Structure 1
Amino acid sequence: MNDCPFCEIVAGRAPCTLVREWDDAMAFVPLNPVTPGHVLVIPKVHVPDFTTAHYVSAMTMHRAAELMQASGPMNLITSKGREATQSVFHLHLHLVPRAEGDGLALPWYSGRRKAGHS
């Protein structure tokens, strides 16, 4: 897929800061990490999002879990569609390490716990 920047990385035609590589997936640092340690995990095969090929999505999640098994708090984020903030239409999982007061706001969390919610 010539117009996919992640396919270009997989093919070795575009640079990346590689974190880990498997036969079926790659992990690398995004161009603009939002926290220290932010990593993307992508499948080597092109699929547009997590709903397109369930097996590929599950394998990519498996690789992300394997990579971050011993890590601390983090968000795992993926998107489907431009309206959901997807800008590269190749399945990718954002692994975003978190720390108290890191300044990264997520829209569904105010930082305060409400009674009955965890």
Structure 2
Amino acid sequence: MQTIQFSDFQKVEIRIGTIVSAEIFKEAKKPAYKLQVDLGKLGIKKSSAQITEYYKAEDLPGKQVICICNFPPKQIANIMSEVLVTGFHDENGHVSLATTDLKVPDGTKLS
């Protein structure tokens, strides 16, 4: 494993946000959802997430997720993804979302 300096970690904007909408991303190459995530003062940001194995689109609104907010926007099919919604792959490669066990204010930075 490569080590980094604490100052490198501080450069990454890891924040909590609440999913406000989720819909099937028909244009994506792999099964995915188009998400809109409320990041508080940062606003509502778009993301694409390949999380269809464990999550139904209708169950996602209201769920808080941990996001990387300072990657450059990335074109994915016909949307510009503005944040990376994080998660962990299981032994089958399916993603379990990274979240908190208690609700915190949207936009709060991981510290």
- Please give the TM-score of this superposition, normalised by the length of structure 1: 0.28
| Structure number with larger C-alpha Rg | 1
- Which has the higher relative contact order, 1 or 2, with Cα contacts under 8 A spaced 6 or more apart? 2
Greater helix percent: which structure? Answer: 1
- Please give the TM-score of this superposition, normalised by the length of structure 2: 0.29
